[in-house]
Structure 1
């Protein structure tokens, strides 16, 4: 990962701030008791983005090339696709 800073913070710090922000967004959605297919898929999308960020920055997979980067992506895409299909079919 890069050691360059932007506004005095390393990229991993910015990712952490983004993860906390996305967590608060999903918390707010839950507290407001929002529902429906669109909201459910939005929250699922946030979860998949957060999973990718954790894999890339905090598991160290962002700097890797090739096959080693795929397991986390596949692990996110397959369940995410199945859950999305289940939500759409249940509608």
Structure 2
């Protein structure tokens, strides 16, 4: 094998991994700052949804599959984040 050969997917996966670390750090610092409220909750949920989509596309290999499988994962993601948001925003009796 040629020593100069560098697969292209390693470079993109490295950038995705760095982005995931940055997003994880963002949510960590939000938690450490004891911030609260609807805007903060929506930011954390949106950050988690972006991270799930990045992991599914790049590390689970869904980026190169049919739209059916990508749609199933996206539908699951929308369902779960929607239910968490509804549960957070619903008043407690």
* TM-score, length basis structure 2: 0.82
Aligned residues: 86
Q: Within 5 Å, give how 1:23-62 maps onto structure 2.
A: 23-62=24-63
> Which of 3, 25, 41 lines up with 2:8 in the alignment?
3
Q: Which runs of 5+ in 1 are unaligned?
A: none
Deviation at 1:41, TM superposition (A): 0.9
Name the CA distance, whole Å, in 2 between partners of 1:35 and 1:79: 21
Shift of 1:72: 1.6
Query: 1:26 & 1:76 partners in 2: Cα distance?
Result: 18
User: Once superposed, what is the RMSD of the aligned Cα atoms?
Assistant: 2.0
TM-score, structure 1 normalization: 0.84
State which drifts further: 72-81 or 24-33.
72-81
Point out the structure with max Rg over C-alpha.
2
Structure 2, unmatched stretches of 5+, are 1-6
Matches within 5 A, 1:15-30: 15-30=16-31
Q: CA shift at 1:23, angstroms?
A: 0.3
- List structure 1 segments (4+ residues) > 4 angstroms apart after TM superposition: none
